[in-house]
Amino acid sequence: MLKGGYWGKILWVDLSSKKISEATFDEAFARKYLGGVGLATRIVSEHVTRNTNPLGPGNVLVFATGPYQAANIASAGRCSCAARAPLSGYWGEANAGGHIGPELKRAGFDAVVITGRAANPVYLWINDGKAEIRDASSLWGLDAVETTAALKESVDAKAAVSCIGPGGENLVRFACIANDNHGYFGRGGMGAVMGSKNLKALVIRGTLKPPIADEGKLREVYKDVLSRAKDAPFTKDNAEHGQASAVVPREENGLLPMKNFTMDNWTEGAAKIGAPHFTEELQIKRWPCPSCIMGCHRRITNPKYFPADTGGPEFETLGMIGSNLLIDDLGAIVRANEMANRYTIDTIDLGGVLGWAFECYEHGLITKEDTDGIALEWGSGDALVKMTEKIARREGIGNLLAEGLRACVEHIPGTQLYAQESLGQTVGAHDPRAFWGQTITTIASTRGGCHLHGFAEAFDLGALLPEIGITEGTDRFDVAKKGYAGAIYQDIQQFWNSLTWCFFYFFSGVTLADQVNMLNAITGWDVTPAEAQKMGERIVCMQQVFNLNMGMVPEKENVMQERFTKPHKEGGAAGKVPPWQAILQEYWETKDWTKGVPSKAKLAELGLDKLEAKKALSDAVARDYKKD
Amino acid sequence: MKVKVKFFASLTEVFGDREREVELGEGARIKDLLDALCDSSRCRQNVFDDSGKIKMRIQIMKNRMPIQSFDGISTRLEEGDVISIIPPMFAG
C-alpha cells in the first residue's frame, strides 16, 4: 500500500480516440521505478518499438513527477518528460523546473501519458482528478509567452502552463517545451513530439493535498537540510548571479566552448557576457521555481533589453550561443534566447547547429547564397538572431538546421569534425578536455550528447558521495576512476531525476543521505543510499536496453568526438586529452555491460529479467524509422 | 620577485581582491604562494583541506596553463608570472 508520495495514478490520454483513462500502480512498482524519469522510462520502454516514428501517433509522451512533488520543499519544483527522441531516434528525456511537477501532483496524478494524435490543435486541461481535451485552434501559431498568457486568462490564472511555440509546431527536432516561461524541457526534441500530436499545451491546476507518510519526520529532516542549504556559498552565488557566474572562470580553466570548441582563450569576450557584468547590465532579479531558495532562473529587468518575458540566458545558453559562436554582444544573446524560449527551441542544440554552420561558412561550404544573404561570421550577433528565426520557422537553410546535426552532416559530407554531437544531440557547454570526469556523459549518455547525464565533473571537483563509497575524487586530468565515477554519478543523477529533485542542492550541501531521509519520510520506506544508487542503475540500464532495441551499436556510437581527441595549445586545459577508450572500458565494466550490452546476470540483479538486450546485428541505426 | 594572482568567482570575496601582486623569494613555488596568500583561517579553509593539502577542487593555472602540465603545486614561479585560482563551479 502506498503510504505517501504517490497517488498511484497515471492519467492516460489518447488524442486520436479522445479517450481519457487512468492506470494505477502499487507500492512495489513505485519502489522499483520511483517516479520521474524512472517511471517514464518504464512506460516508454513498454510502449515504443523500433517501428515507432518519434513524430508519429505511436510515440508516447510522458510527463512524470516523483515522490518529492508531494512535499512542499525547496528543490522539488521539477518534473521529468520523456519519449522516443525525434532528434536522435533513441532515448529522449528532459528534466525541468517550473510549476508543472508540483501542480500535476496536486491535481491528483503522478504522471500523464499522451499517445495518438489529435485531428486539430488541442490543449489538455487537468484539474483535481479530472482531465479534458479542449480545442486550441485559436492558439496555434502563438509563441510560448502569448500561449501562456492566453491560457492563464481563459482557463485559470493560477494554473501551470507547459506549452510549445512555432518551433514545436514546426517539428524542429530539438524543439523544447516551455514551463511558465522560465523552465524548459530542453533536450531531445520533446516539443516536437508535442507538436506532432497537435498538442499545444498542458494546463494544470491542483488543490488536492498529496499524502505524506510521516509529516513530522519530514519537517524535522527538512528543517536541518534547509538551514545548511541556506548558508551554503553556492546558494548565495547562484541566487546573485545564477549560472552566469561560471562563464569567466570556465574561460580560464578551459571548459567553456569557444569557436565551436576550437579556441582556447577568449578572455575579453567572456567578461562581456558573464557575471558580474551580466548581472549588472541586465539588472537581473531571481526567478525561482516553486519553493526554491536559490532562484537561479534569471529575470531581466533592464528595459533596454525588453521584450524579456522569459527566463534570461543561463550558463549553457551563454556558452553555446555566446562563446561557442564568439558572440560577445550580450544584447544579441538575450534577443536570441528570448526568441528561442518563445519559439521553444533548445538553446544548446541551437548553438550546436550554428557552430557547425558558422564553421562550414568559414570554409566556404555554406555561402550567402545558401543563407539568403546572411553572413555566418564568427561573432555576428545579427546572424545569430536571424538564424534563430529561420530555424524556428524552417525557412531556407533553417529547414536543414532544424533537422539537427546528423542531418546537417549528411547534407554536407565530410563535416563531422564541425558537429559536436553524440547520438545526434549536441554536447553541452562543457569541454571534456578540461574535466575528464565529463567523458562518459559526453560520449555514452543514453540520451545523447549531454553534460548532465551523470555530472561526473562533480567528482573532479570534490562533490562526493561518501554514502556509497565515493570518498575521494581524482584530479581533473587524472584518468583514475573516471569511468567508475561516470557510471555511479549517472546512476545517482537518474535517482535525482526520479525523485524528482533539483541537483543544484547537492552543491549546497544536501547529501545523498539527506535526500534518502526525505524520501523515506515522504514514502514511509526504508531506502538506503545503496538502494538509491541501485534504483538509478536500473533506470540507466533500461534506457540502454531501449537504445539497443532501437538499433544502437554502442561501439559505433560511444566514441569521442574527433575535435576532443586533439589538445588545445594554450589555456586552462592546454595539452590535455582524456584517454576516452580506457574511461569507457572502465565505465562498461562498472556497469557489467559487455561493449555496452548489459549482461543477463546484471538484468536479473536489477529485476529486469523480462527485458532483452537485442544487440543490433547490422549497422542500421535508429534513424531508419524514416523508412517506416 | 613579484607575481600577479587572479582570483575568480567566490574567491574574490574570500580574498577581497580580483587581482593582487605578491612578493616572493627567489625559487618560490606554487605552494609557497598559496601559503603567503592564506593569511586568515577563512582563506586557508577555502584552499587547504583539514590535512593541510591543497583542495583538489581548486583549479590553479600558471600563465593560463594548468599547473598539472608543470610540477603541480611544486611548480616553480618566476618574475611576472600570472597565477589564476578558481574555486569549483557547478553550473550546468
Decide if A461 and B8 are in contact by the 8 Å CB cutoff. no
Decide if B65 and A570 are in contact by the 8 Å CB cutoff. yes
Higher pLDDT, B91 or A443: A443
Decide if A245 and B9 are in contact by the 8 Å CB cutoff. yes
3-class SS letters over A259-321? CCCCCCCCHHHHHHHCCCHHHHHCCEEECCCCCCCCCCCEEECCHHHCCCCCCCCCHHHHHHC
Report the half-sphere exposure of A611 (CA within 13 A, side-chain side).
30
Higher pLDDT, A417 or A619: A417
Q: Integer distance in angstroms from the first to the last C-alpha of chain B?
A: 39
Nearest-by-Cβ selection for B89 from A246, A316, A504 = A246
DSSP code for A91 = E
Higher pLDDT, A626 or A106: A106
Beta bridge pairs of residue A512: none
Three-state DSSP class for residue A65 = coil
DSSP string, A377-393: -TT-HHHHHHHHHHHHH
Decide if A574 and B86 are in contact by the 8 Å CB cutoff. no
How far is residue A171's CA from residue A85's CA, in Å, rounded to a whole number?
12
Tell me the per-residue pLDDT of A311-339, one tens digit each, with 9 for 90 and over.
999 999 999 999 999 999 999 999 999 99
Report chain A residues touching chain B, CB-CB < 8 A.
233-234, 237, 243, 245-246, 248-250, 252-254, 265, 314-316, 428, 430, 451-452, 455, 457-458, 460-463, 473-477, 504, 507, 570-576
Decide if A253 and B59 are in contact by the 8 Å CB cutoff. yes
Is B45 part of the contact surface with chain A (CB cutoff 8 Å)?
no
- pLDDT surpasses 80 at B56: no
- pLDDT surpasses 70 at A614: no
Q: Are A552 and A559 in contact (CB under 8 A)?
A: no
Q: Closest approach of chain B CAs to the CA of A210, in angstroms?
A: 31
This model of the complex carries an ipTM of 0.94
Rounded mean pLDDT, A210-225 = 97
How far is residue A361's CA from residue A384's CA, in Å, rounded to a whole number?
13
Residue among B10, B18, B43, B64 with most chain A CBs within 10 A, to mutate: B64
Q: How confident is the model at residue A4 (pLDDT cuts 50, 70, 90)?
A: very high
Is B63 part of the contact surface with chain A (CB cutoff 8 Å)?
no
Which chain A residues are within 8 Å of B68, Cβ to Cβ?
A: 475-477, 576
Nearest-by-Cβ selection for A575 from B61, B69, B88 = B69
Residue among A187, A248, A253 with most chain B CBs within 10 A, to mutate: A253
Tell me the per-residue pLDDT of A199-208, one tens digit each, with 9 for 90 and over.
999 999 999 9
Decide if B9 and A248 are in contact by the 8 Å CB cutoff. yes
Note the helical H segments in A67-214. 100-106, 144-154, 166-169, 190-196
How far is residue A589's CA from residue A69's CA, in Å, rounded to a whole number?
35
Phi, psi of A299 (to 5 degrees): -115, 120
Three-state DSSP class for residue A443 = helix
Nearest-by-Cβ selection for B65 from A245, A461, A574 = A574
Q: Integer distance in angstroms from the first to the last C-alpha of chain A?
A: 43
How far is residue A275's CA from residue A248's CA, in Å, rounded to a whole number?
7
Q: Are A87 and A419 in contact (CB under 8 A)?
A: no
Nearest-by-Cβ selection for B86 from A233, A252, A460 = A252
Of A402, A401, A439, nearest to A422 by C-alpha is A439
Which chain B residues are within 8 Å of A245, Cβ to Cβ?
A: 9, 89, 91
DSSP string, B38-62: --SHHHHHHHB-TTSPBPTT-EEEE
Nearest-by-Cβ selection for A243 from B55, B56, B91 = B91
Domain that holds residue B47: 2-86
Q: Where in the sequence of chain A do the CATH 1.10.599.10 domains occur?
A: 436-508+528-627
Nearest-by-Cβ selection for A572 from B64, B88, B92 = B64
Three-state DSSP class for residue A18 = coil
pLDDT in the model for residue A314: 96
CA nearest to B54 within chain A: A475
Q: From residue A80, give the alpha-carbon distance in Å to each of A59, A64, A451, A502.
A: 16, 5, 17, 11
How far is residue A568's CA from residue A114's CA, in Å, rounded to a whole number?
46
Single-letter residue type at B89:
M
How far is residue A226's CA from residue A219's CA, in Å, rounded to a whole number?
10
Beta bridge pairs of residue B76: B29
Which chain A residues are within 8 Å of B92, Cβ to Cβ?
A: 243, 315-316, 428, 430, 451-452, 455, 457
Q: Are A96 and A184 in contact (CB under 8 A)?
A: yes
3-class SS letters over A465-519? EHHHCECCCCCCCCCCCHHHHHHHHHHHHHHHHHHCCCHHHHHHCCCHHHHHHHH
Q: Closest approach of chain B CAs to the CA of A139, in angstroms?
A: 33
In 3-state terms, chain A is what percent helix, strand and coil (to 5)?
45, 15, 45
Q: Closest approach of chain B CAs to the CA of A344, in angstroms?
A: 19
Decide if B59 and A476 are in contact by the 8 Å CB cutoff. yes
pLDDT in the model for residue A139: 98
Rounded mean pLDDT, A2-16 = 97
Decide if A243 and B92 are in contact by the 8 Å CB cutoff. yes
The CATH architecture one would assign to domain A9-205 is: 4-Layer Sandwich (3.60)
- pLDDT surpasses 50 at A566: yes
Q: Are A486 and A558 in contact (CB under 8 A)?
A: no
Rounded mean pLDDT, A596-620 = 70
Q: How confident is the model at residue A610 (pLDDT cuts 50, 70, 90)?
A: confident
Average pLDDT, chain A: 95
The angle subtended at Cα A577 by Cα A573 and Cα A580, nearest 5°, is 140
Cis status of the peptide bond prior to A500, with omega within 30 of 0: yes
Note whether residue B92 is domain-resident: no
Is B57 part of the contact surface with chain A (CB cutoff 8 Å)?
yes
How far is residue A233's CA from residue B87's CA, in Å, rounded to a whole number?
11
How far is residue A32's CA from residue A611's CA, in Å, rounded to a whole number?
15
Looking at A267-276, A471-480, A588-597, B42-51, which range is the least confident one?
A: B42-51
- pLDDT surpasses 50 at A620: no
Q: How many distinct structural domains can be found in chain B? A: 1
How far is residue A26's CA from residue A76's CA, in Å, rounded to a whole number?
22
Decide if B92 and A463 are in contact by the 8 Å CB cutoff. no
How far is residue B3's CA from residue B85's CA, in Å, rounded to a whole number?
13
A316 grid coordinates: 549553457
**pLDDT > 90: percent of chain B:** 74
Beta bridge pairs of residue B82: B4
Three-state DSSP class for residue A13 = strand
Nearest-by-Cβ selection for B92 from A234, A248, A452 = A452
DSSP code for A142 = -
Three-state DSSP class for residue A78 = strand
Decide if B57 and A462 are in contact by the 8 Å CB cutoff. yes
Rounded mean pLDDT, A85-109 = 98
How far is residue B24's CA from residue B83's CA, in Å, rounded to a whole number?
13
Q: Where in the sequence of chain A do the CATH 1.10.569.10 domains occur?
A: 233-426
* CATH (domain of B82): 3.10.20.30
Q: From residue B81, give the alpha-carbon distance in Å to each of A539, B7, B86.
A: 49, 14, 16
Rounded mean pLDDT, B53-77 = 91
Rounded mean pLDDT, B47-65 = 87
- pLDDT surpasses 70 at A613: no
pLDDT in the model for residue A615: 38
Residue among A240, A263, A461 with most chain B CBs within 10 A, to mutate: A461
How far is residue A523's CA from residue A528's CA, in Å, rounded to a whole number?
13
DSSP code for A175 = B
For the structural domain made of A233-426, what CATH number should be given?
1.10.569.10
Which chain A residues are within 8 Å of B86, Cβ to Cβ?
A: 249, 252-253
Phi, psi of A399 (to 5 degrees): -65, -35
Note whether residue B10 is domain-resident: yes
Provide the chain B residues 15-34 that lie in CB contact (below 8 A) with chain A.
Answer: none
Note the helical H segments in chain B. 10-15, 30-37, 41-47
Decide if A252 and B84 are in contact by the 8 Å CB cutoff. yes
Domain A436-508+528-627 bears CATH identifier 1.10.599.10: yes
Q: How confident is the model at residue A11 (pLDDT cuts 50, 70, 90)?
A: very high
Decide if B9 and A249 are in contact by the 8 Å CB cutoff. yes
Of A67, A60, A84, A51, nearest to A12 by C-alpha is A60
Q: Are A77 and A502 in contact (CB under 8 A)?
A: yes
Note whether residue B80 is domain-resident: yes
Decide if B61 and A451 are in contact by the 8 Å CB cutoff. no
Which chain B residues are within 8 Å of A507, Cβ to Cβ?
A: 90
pLDDT in the model for residue A611: 66
Tell me the per-residue pLDDT of A108-162, one tens digit each, with 9 for 90 and over.
999 999 999 999 999 999 999 999 999 999 999 999 999 999 999 999 999 999 9
CA nearest to B66 within chain A: A572
What does the buried/exposed string (b/e) look like for A344-357 if buried means 16 or more CB atoms within 10 Å of the residue's CB? bbbbbbbbbbbbbb
CA nearest to B88 within chain A: A461
Of B48, B43, B75, B53, nearest to B62 by C-alpha is B75
- pLDDT surpasses 70 at A441: yes
How far is residue A226's CA from residue A577's CA, in Å, rounded to a whole number?
40
Rounded mean pLDDT, B53-68 = 89
With a CB cutoff of 8 Å and minimum separation 6, the contacts of A520 are A217, A526, A527
pLDDT in the model for residue A434: 97
Decide if A507 and B90 are in contact by the 8 Å CB cutoff. yes
Is B43 part of the contact surface with chain A (CB cutoff 8 Å)?
no
